[in-house]
Structure 1
Amino acid sequence: MDGTTLHVEVAGRGPVCVLSAGLALAWFDWDPVAALLAPHRTVVRFDRPGHGLSSPATTAATAAGEARRIAALLDALGLGGAPVTVAGHSIAGFHAEAFARLYPERTAALVLVDSSVEEEPRALLPAPVRTAFARLLGRAVTAAGLPAALGPAARRAAVRGSRVTGGDPAPRDLVRRCYRTGRVWRGALLENSGYLDTAAELLELRRTHPLAAPATVLAGYDGSASGAALHWLGRQAGLADRLAARFEVAEPSGHLVMADRPGQVARAVLDTARPAPDA
């Protein structure tokens, strides 16, 4: 679409579902879910620019831009016929919802997996300033050799902190291959610099483009009574209300729901068109 070479994995057979992972994550973070879906779905996973094995990001992501990327990817794969289920985790929930709103005729269902939520996004600094700082920091981090020295360890620590139990289930060789490069660090910093702009863009899309597809909001919850956990659960429930979506709680789970509760994520993708349970 913009000259960026994307890394893509396609497996399985049946109706198509697209899985997009959160900030600084990769296609292999969906491995447990993809294995459960492949007998029933054609599973498409891809790395956004600057993530996984895709080529470097050149600009900060936008909601509409990432929606167009998903559409172009499906066309390039020859999967642009029947409507697809699109699932987004964390910040990729913004992109998945944008796709569902901008391409209603191409969307069978929407699944938001512990999606980012911003009710009133307001940035303190202008977008060009944030983008320039992200580029500068990315170059400095790479020049200092931090990705090669600390990248895989930082990835493993982040994953441990995003789960209720267990460490990083990803293959260590793939983690080293991706996270020892400055490309991924720079890509994550650049995408994060546009986070609030993407959130604001999505709010505008909600005003102008109705959501026609059935939607599911799957919230990660560690089962604790902590104020932070309950507040996040309330925000996820509020998101489901705003989208008139089915609301499910993945418990116990951290933010990386795909690793903690892969079976529940797979069921959400397979069952999203069914009526919501009484809860």
Structure 2
Amino acid sequence: MERRLFVFAASAFIVAAVLGSAWITGQFTTPAVDRTDGYVSELAARDQPWTRLFRVSDALSGLACAFGVALVPRVAREWRGWLALAAFGLFTFVAGLFPLDCAALSDPACGQRAISYGHRVHTLAGALATLAVLAAMVLISSRWRSWVSWLFTWLSLAATLLTAAAHADRHGVGIAHRAQLTMFAVWLVYAAVHLLITDDDQAAEHGSPNWAGQGPGPAAGPTAGAGAGGADGYGPPHVVVQGAGPAVLITAGPGGAWFHWDRVAGDLAGSRRVIRFDRPGLGLSPRSPTPPDLYAEVARLAALAPAHPEQVTVVAHGVACWHAEAFARLHPLRVAKLVLVDPACAVTRRPFAPARTAGRWLPALGGTWGATVLARLTGPAAHRLLTGVPDPSGVYSMGKVPVAVAGEWLARRDMAADLRRVRAEKPFPDVPVTVISPGERDGRQERLAGDLGAKLVRLPESGHQVQLDDPEAIVDAVLAVPGSDLAPWRNT
């Protein structure tokens, strides 16, 4: 999928170059605009016959350029150049929305009229677009170190200086401006070709697409990193291990990260070996080349849990409760206890084919500049709003995280169908289960507790982030001796 992103990004740049060159037809359709002394943007002036055609072409050209930047897989130390190129696309789009009132240089009567607000916006947006694309060409060329890119960059700079000089002299502006726009379009085409012929090298910077979820359990220690692929590439998961004693494996809910469980892990680490991890794309774990899948998550739990005959207590939250239940059914001899915190309901709706198709694309999209910008703008604020706690590692500023959250949401129907299939084929083992239900009574969670023979603990004053609002309830459930009362004041 990552290779296709390079193809789509390159195609978007070529479309932007073609649409941005629509002025070539204007030499024949709009003779009133002077080819020697008139701006190209005068073709889209409000008083010209083909204004809508050229305005739409300019606007779509800008959008195509910005869309292409959004699809480019992120490469370290290139962000300034791509940001400048995205700004060029957006300014070009604005210039298309706000055309000139009239042909400023070709029509002598134009200067005698009052200038509208849109005319001023177009002039400013055009100037900013020129500065942005020149900056992008310089910054990206310095990273690519390609003499061809530098050649087009210097020619574009020369054409821009000639345009400025011609404007000051009031003669030859049209020729210089057309040369400038031609070089911009040629550079965009070159950028597209560069992406197409170097996509393998670019993709290699994200690490090998091999999600090392299987393998031996983590060694005791404070932290096991995300692996050579890095948090934005591909590689093994981010794992944190604390304490010593019987193993407790914690799997977070939708969009959760390991640090949301700090208080729970800290209280348990005195007598338990607590294993926390981030699923692919979440927290500090790198992305996975494949969409979320119930059996893959079960295999991940099996890989992180201690080897048989040692058994593990699994603490799961939200949709991760499905993974924990399936793990218990498929590996009954490896489970000592389940603690299901606010378990999600396994919906009975059919899997949605378009969601499955979109899910295949999302892992690759998590490494693009578009996902990075989206996360930087919305991630920290959304995390603070939903959890009320800080993000110490800047996890929610990473583009992979919102994409991973969306991928898990799109995979819910498929995972629910797989869970129902596992339930039909594998009986639930005779292990203690505690279901912690926050808020008001939930009949679905009560039915789940009945089906699993679980102890149901209701926390009427707790929110859905139980691990943050009431971590003691989870600690009590983990440490409770089977058959004993569990904080009876909490029970229904």
- Asked if these proteins are the same fold (TM beyond 0.5), I'd say yes
Cα deviation 1:122-168 (Å, max 9, x = unaligned): 33445533425646875788357121122111111122xxxxxxx22
**Cα offset for 1:63?**
1.7
- CA spacing shift, 1:143–1:116, aligned 2, 3 Å: closer
- Residues 1:83 and 2:292 aligned together: no
- CA spacing shift, 1:275–1:202, aligned 2, 3 Å: farther
- State the one-letter code of the partner of 1:15: P
- Residues 1:185 and 2:416 aligned together: no
2:432 aligns with: 214
Cα deviation 1:7-41 (Å, max 9, x = unaligned): 10111111101000011110011111111111121
Query: Residue 244 of structure 1 is aligned with which of 436, 453, 457?
Result: 453
- Which aligned pairs between 1:149-228 and structure 2 lie closer than 5 A? 149-159=377-387, 167-168=388-389, 170=390, 172-174=391-393, 176=394, 178-212=395-429, 213-221=431-439
Q: Secondary structure at the match of 1:93?
A: helix
**1:121–1:197 contact (8 Å) kept in structure 2:** no
- Which aligned pairs between 1:87-106 and structure 2 lie closer than 5 A? 87-106=315-334
1:38 aligns with: 269
| TM-score, with length taken from structure 1 | 0.84
- CA spacing shift, 1:246–1:190, aligned 2, 3 Å: same
2:154 aligns with: none
1:225 aligns with: none
2:292 aligns with: 61
**2:342–2:435 contact (8 Å) kept in structure 1:** yes
Q: Which moved more, 1:86-95 or 1:149-158?
A: 149-158
Higher relative contact order (CA 8 A, sep 6+): 1
User: Aligned partners of 1:114, 1:73: CA distance in 2, in Å?
Assistant: 23
**1:11–1:43 contact (8 Å) kept in structure 2:** yes
**2:352–2:413 contact (8 Å) kept in structure 1:** no
- CA spacing shift, 1:60–1:273, aligned 2, 3 Å: farther
- State the one-letter code of the partner of 2:351: A
1:114 aligns with: 342
**2:356–2:410 contact (8 Å) kept in structure 1:** no
**Cα offset for 1:188?**
1.4
**Cα offset for 1:250?**
2.0
- Residues 1:253 and 2:462 aligned together: yes
* Structure 2: gaps spanning 5 or more residues: 1-209, 213-234
User: Aligned partners of 2:332, 2:368: CA distance in 1, in Å?
Assistant: 42
2:357 aligns with: 129
**Cα offset for 1:184?**
1.1
- State the one-letter code of the partner of 2:268: L
- CA spacing shift, 1:111–1:190, aligned 2, 3 Å: same
**Cα offset for 1:70?**
1.2
In terms of fraction of residues, the more strand-rich structure is: 1
User: Aligned partners of 2:367, 2:240: CA distance in 1, in Å?
Assistant: 29
2:237 aligns with: 6
**Cα offset for 1:121?**
3.4
User: Aligned partners of 2:404, 2:477: CA distance in 1, in Å?
Assistant: 29
User: Aligned partners of 1:141, 1:118: CA distance in 2, in Å?
Assistant: 34
**2:264–2:467 contact (8 Å) kept in structure 1:** yes
2:482 aligns with: 273
1:27 aligns with: 258
In terms of fraction of residues, the more helix-rich structure is: 2
Q: Secondary structure at the match of 1:58?
A: coil
Cα deviation 1:66-98 (Å, max 9, x = unaligned): 1111111235xxx55411011110011111111
- CA spacing shift, 1:83–1:237, aligned 2, 3 Å: same
Q: Which runs of 4+ in 1 moved over 6 A?
A: none
User: Aligned partners of 1:132, 1:112: CA distance in 2, in Å?
Assistant: 29
Q: Secondary structure at the match of 2:409?
A: helix
**1:252–1:260 contact (8 Å) kept in structure 2:** no
**Cα offset for 1:60?**
1.9
**Cα offset for 1:2?**
3.4
User: Aligned partners of 2:476, 2:331: CA distance in 1, in Å?
Assistant: 24
Superposed CA RMSD in Å reads 2.3
User: Aligned partners of 1:141, 1:121: CA distance in 2, in Å?
Assistant: 34
- Aligned-pair identity in percent equals 38
- CA spacing shift, 1:143–1:261, aligned 2, 3 Å: closer
User: Aligned partners of 1:34, 1:144: CA distance in 2, in Å?
Assistant: 30
| TM-score, with length taken from structure 2 | 0.49
- State the one-letter code of the partner of 1:145: V
2:112 aligns with: none
- State the one-letter code of the partner of 1:88: A
User: Aligned partners of 1:152, 1:244: CA distance in 2, in Å?
Assistant: 40
